[in-house]
Amino acid sequence: MEEDISIDLRILQSHLDGMLSRVKHNSLTLKRLQAFEMRLLALSSLTEMIDFILDETKLLFDLEIVSLYLFDPTNDIACYLESDHYPYKDRQGFMLVESDALFKKFFDYSHKPLLGIYHPENYEQFFLDGDQIPSSVILAPLIRRGKYIGSLNLGSHRSDRFIHTMATDFIEHLASVLSISLENTLNFETMRRTSLFDPLTGVNNRRFLEQRINEELDRSLRTHQPLSCLFLDIDYFKCINDTHGHQAGDQVLSQVAGAIKKQLRSNDVLSRYGGEEFVALLSGSDESIALEIAERIRSSIEALLIQFGGQEIAVTISIGAATFIPGLNATKSVADTARELINTADAALYQAKNKGRNRVENRSGILSTLDLQKA
């Protein structure tokens, strides 16, 4: 009798020890999760958030594999990341998808995480890149206002790490926090870029240029690479407005901006400076490259025929070019040099206008001996 009681007590003690161990483990996990959330909420950019989620979630849950899929039906996220020069296509574990069919197929309308043994036929599409293959997985949908915005996908080399009977409270809570943070960050990115964006032409505006040129000059100093600036002006634009109307003028602005963008590289920056004027920053481009790009732009605009109201509108453009090459004399601030670079390109544009328009002019040597002191 006493022996039976002793056995029962040992069993009970074992259960209690197990419960206490789980409580301690859950308490530690909760503290780590709270610290994770505080750091997550402090992030202000989309690129920081993507890196943080992919890298820190591994540490939080002691995992080998983490992937983040985001629903991007309008290609906005891709555009944001490209404009920030973030190599999202090469980022291991990150994927943009244009359709939410994948999420609907797996999560249906339960909006609950899926977990269990990894079967390639079921889960391979959530772990497409990398050489590591998980043994067990958990897929957590990211949802806002009843709609899928993506999924957080975790993989472990342990087959018993994620089993279908385990509780999913922590991962559901984390997915909820991630969903809110991602939505807020995307809204912030949209507002930020809208304030720096020209809605008519679809390119950046002057405010964006004034911020970006300082960044490009800083980069030029760090890398000892030149920075070229093109100042572009549509010829006889007032005449186009007077002859064909302002709607035709808007069409010309939009199509010319599109034609210019096609001749630029992915790391070049195009902004509408005002009216019919545009400015392009050509990172890492010396004078010869800048003039080559400028001539390509001029030629493509000359060949452009814009259809409006049953008429064809011919357009030409004049371009002024200037190049900054870091030199030896630390005589100017970044802000002063930015103004001088734009003004020099503008002066070259003035020459192009005076020489008959539809041409490229260059102001050589003006900035070639300058170096910068940070403002």
The residue among 194, 226, 255 that closes a domain is 194
Same domain, 47 and 190: yes
**CA end-to-end span of the chain:** 87
CA dist 98 to 6, 69, 151, 208, 353, Å? 63, 11, 13, 28, 45
Same domain, 86 and 217: no
Q: Is residue 178 part of a domain?
A: yes
pLDDT over 70 percentage in the chain? 87
Mean pLDDT of the chain: 87
Q: Are 358 and 298 in contact (CB under 8 A)?
A: yes
Q: Is residue 132 part of a domain?
A: yes
The residue among 161, 194, 227 that closes a domain is 194
Quote the number of domains for the chain.
2
Residue 59, domain CATH? 3.30.450.40
DSSP state of 45: S
Q: Is residue 11 part of a domain?
A: no
> In the prediction, which pLDDT does 25 show?
52
* 246-251 CB contacts, 8 Å cutoff, 24+ apart: 247/308, 248/306, 248/308, 248/309, 248/313, 250/200, 251/306, 251/308, 251/313
Q: How far is 306 from 38, CA to CA, in rounded Å? A: 53
Model pLDDT for residues 58-116, shown as the tens digit of each residue:
988 889 999 999 999 999 999 889 878 889 999 999 999 999 998 998 887 778 899 99
Q: Is residue 340 part of a domain?
A: yes
> In the prediction, which pLDDT does 143 show?
94
- Give the structural domain span for 173: 43-194
Q: Shortest CA distance to 274 belongs to which of 317, 220, 232, 224?
A: 232
The residue among 171, 194, 217 that closes a domain is 194
Q: What sign does the CA torsion over 156, 160, 163, 166 have?
A: negative
Q: Shortest CA distance to 228 belongs to which of 290, 318, 273?
A: 290
Q: Are 54 and 93 in contact (CB under 8 A)?
A: yes
Q: Is residue 14 part of a domain?
A: no
Same domain, 266 and 190: no
Q: Are 337 and 372 in contact (CB under 8 A)?
A: yes
Which is the catalytic residue, given 189, 276, 287, 361? 276
Q: What are phi and psi of 286, to 5 degrees?
A: -85, -175
* Cα of 355 vs its chain's centroid, Å: 41
72 exposure class (CB count in 10 Å sphere: 0-12, 13-18, 19+): buried
Same domain, 189 and 209: no
Q: How far is 299 from 276, CA to CA, in rounded Å? A: 18
Q: Is residue 361 part of a domain?
A: yes
64 exposure class (CB count in 10 Å sphere: 0-12, 13-18, 19+): middle
Q: Is residue 27 part of a domain?
A: no
> In the prediction, which pLDDT does 372 show?
41
Residue 262, domain CATH? 3.30.70.270
Same domain, 284 and 341: yes
> In the prediction, which pLDDT does 266 show?
82
Model pLDDT for residues 144-198, shown as the tens digit of each residue:
988 999 999 999 999 999 988 888 888 898 899 999 999 999 988 888 878 888 9
Sheet holding 269-274, edge to edge: 197-198, 203-204, 269-274, 277-283, 227-234, 317-324, 360-367
**295 annotated active-site:** no
Same domain, 139 and 282: no
Model pLDDT for residues 304-351, shown as the tens digit of each residue:
999 998 899 999 999 999 999 887 445 678 888 999 999 999 999 999
| Mean pLDDT, residues 121-137 taken together | 86
Same domain, 230 and 183: no
Same domain, 110 and 139: yes
Q: How far is 155 from 161, CA to CA, in rounded Å? A: 9
Q: How far is 372 from 215, CA to CA, in rounded Å? A: 12
Q: How far is 44 from 115, CA to CA, in rounded Å? A: 31
Same domain, 176 and 209: no
Adjacent-strand bridge partners of 367: 324
Same domain, 216 and 115: no
Query: Hunting for tokens 């549509």 — which residue is that?
Result: 234
Q: Shortest CA distance to 163 belongs to which of 141, 128, 135?
A: 135
Q: Is residue 90 part of a domain?
A: yes
Same domain, 149 and 224: no
Same domain, 220 and 356: yes
